Amino acid sequence: MVNRDTEQQLALDQLQGDILVGLQKEAQLFVGFAIADVTKFKRFLSAIPLTTGREALLAEDRILAARANGGTGKLDIRGINIAFSAQGLKKLGVPNVDNIKDKSFLAGLAAQSAKLNDPPDGPGAVKNWLLGNGVGELDGLLIITGRGRPEVQATMADLDQSAGSGTWIPFFTEIGTTRPGAEHGHEHFGYLDGVSQPAVRGRIDQIFPAKKFLNPGQNPADPNQGLPGADLHWPGEFVFGYAEQDKTDVEHPLGPKDGGLPWMKNGSFMVFRRLEQLVPEFHATAKAKAEALGGVDPDVLEARMVGRFRSGSPISLSDVDNPALGGNELKNNDFDFGGKDLDGLKCPYAGHIRKAYPRNDVTPAATGATQEAKEKSSEANTQTHRIMRRGIPFGPEVGPVENAKNQTQHSRGLMFVCYQTSIQDQFEFITRNWINNPDFAIPKAGFDPILGQAEGSNRQRSFTGGPPNSPSGKPPTVTLEADFIRPTGGGYFFMPSIHAIHTVLTQ
């Protein structure tokens, strides 16, 4: 058992706030920019009031305190973080950028897009993306968070003014917002998002003596978890300069994780994908497929595609949507697949959450003779393929005409953001080896029905996992003719520490 008192201190004053804590946001402005004048930009960059991990944690406390005091209004909390592409770092004159170990970061998302099975034609094709389409314009991404559109726009106006003319070209700006009313916290398909996140080891008691750990243990039955079901990870999985996971032993730290250049310490790779969601098409298809399966409940079929019901309640724990379970962070993540659901009767192997994080399912990394040994070894390896997700929806709510025609007319979806210390082994590994691999975790599991992409122009894909109570008696295979999610822009970035920004990036 790990003596948690020996865990490293996390340098919250050095870390940008979005990485381990998450910036508080009802609205988030994404600014894709090019550097116009290096000298002016460096001056501007050194003056940007970047939000640190400590500030983000303090803001979280303020929100919790206000809620505890019966407050219902939204506090005016603002955040700013910044990240750079390999090209941006080079433009700033940072030495030896090509020594960065992650070759996917150096290549950039546009170059990697085909390997993620992004469509070769149409709006999802990299050549048609709204940003980061490979013509070399994206030097960095600035994110601004706040309680609403006016606040993030005002922050941007202040920043742009302080930049002065001819400093940068903020050529892509788009605001994501949380959804209104009862849909708050849900993504556009209707499902509660941000439920399951990896827990992170590390002490914070020099800054918050009363808190001691960023993710305190909250599961008396398992000291290797933060919230029940959220396995603790060594911080080097998400931030450079800290111990990382051992592929064979979750309790044993390796490291410290080295990105290739010493100043990468306390920094993290950021993947940004603007993912459009075809919402009416998704629901209409689920309805038609549910009917074709002999009249099963389309909501159940959808839940099986996701792995959770709309409220967040996991289908592994409940056969019906159970909002009390979905909203309870002590329970909504406390489940495993291996050993308990080998036939995928509760949660299909293809279900989005089982594909994206197979927990203790047996994977090709398994060692040992018994089922238990295989699950344990697989799980230790799986923990080296986690990501810290920080997305926010964008675009308007679905309107009546779109609903009536079952056809998307307005661009909407998820500004997908995740942090990790290896784009290759984390974001790309999950996408290529699991989500888009029809034979993971078992042969013929099929594609992740919401996110999976088949290679090439024929986008048809199938998954095994209709409700087992349909006439076949087993989870039937369902064929999907088209994608429901398509990439429309993005990039691979590095989010440096505050120290690196004030030294190596601005010297």
| Integer angstrom CA distances of residue 69 from 66, 91, 146, 329 | 5, 49, 21, 21
Closest chain position to ligand HEM (CB): 196
- State the minimum distance, in angstroms, from the CB of residue 317 to ligand HEM: 12
- State the minimum distance, in angstroms, from the CB of residue 116 to ligand HEM: 9
The answer to the question of residue 213 lying near ligand HEM (CB under 6 A) is no
- Cis status, amide bond into 356, omega within 30 of 0: no
Which range binds ligand HEM by CB under 6 A, 205-213, 270-278, 457-465, 488-496?
Answer: 270-278
Considering only residues 429 through 458, tell me which ones interact with ligand HEM, judged by CB under 6 A.
430-431, 451
Do 310 and 327 touch, CB atoms closer than 8 A? no
Q: Name the phi and psi angles at 209, rounded to 5.
A: -50, -35
Which range binds ligand HEM by CB under 6 A, 132-140, 211-219, 368-376, 412-420?
Answer: 412-420
- Cis status, amide bond into 256, omega within 30 of 0: yes
In whole angstroms, what separates CA 83 from the centre of its chain? 16
- State the minimum distance, in angstroms, from the CB of residue 451 to ligand HEM: 5
Range 289-292 contact pairs with CB under 8 angstroms and sequence separation of 24 or more: 289/466, 289/478, 289/480
**Could you tell me which of 350, 343, 369 has the C-alpha nearest to residue 441?**
350
- State the minimum distance, in angstroms, from the CB of residue 249 to ligand HEM: 21
Which range binds ligand HEM by CB under 6 A, 1-9, 118-126, 177-185, 269-277?
Answer: 269-277
The answer to the question of residue 357 lying near ligand HEM (CB under 6 A) is yes
Nearer to ligand HEM, 257 or 274 (CB): 274
Considering only residues 377 through 396, tell me which ones interact with ligand HEM, judged by CB under 6 A.
387, 389
Q: How far apart are CA 214 and CA 217, in angstroms?
A: 10
Nearer to ligand HEM, 240 or 357 (CB): 357
> What does the per-residue mask of binding to ligand HEM show for 156-195, with x meaning CB under 6 A?
-------------------------------x-x-x-xxx
- Indicate which single residue of 19, 89, 270, 353 sits in contact with ligand HEM (rule: CB under 6 A): 353
Considering only residues 469 through 488, tell me which ones interact with ligand HEM, judged by CB under 6 A.
485
Nearer to ligand HEM, 203 or 486 (CB): 486
- State the minimum distance, in angstroms, from the CB of residue 323 to ligand HEM: 14
Environment class of 232 (CB within 10 Å of its CB; exposed 0-12, middle 13-18, buried 19+):
buried
Q: How far apart are CA 135 and CA 358, in angstroms?
A: 36
Bridging pattern class, strands 79-84 and 140-146: antiparallel
The site for ligand HEM, by CB under 6 A, has a size of: 26
Mention every residue, 6+ apart, whose C-beta is less than 8 A from residue 126: 110, 113, 114, 118, 133, 134, 487
- Rule CB under 6 A: which residues touch ligand HEM? 187, 189, 191, 193-196, 273, 275, 277, 306, 308, 352-353, 356-357, 387, 389, 413-414, 416, 427, 430-431, 451, 485
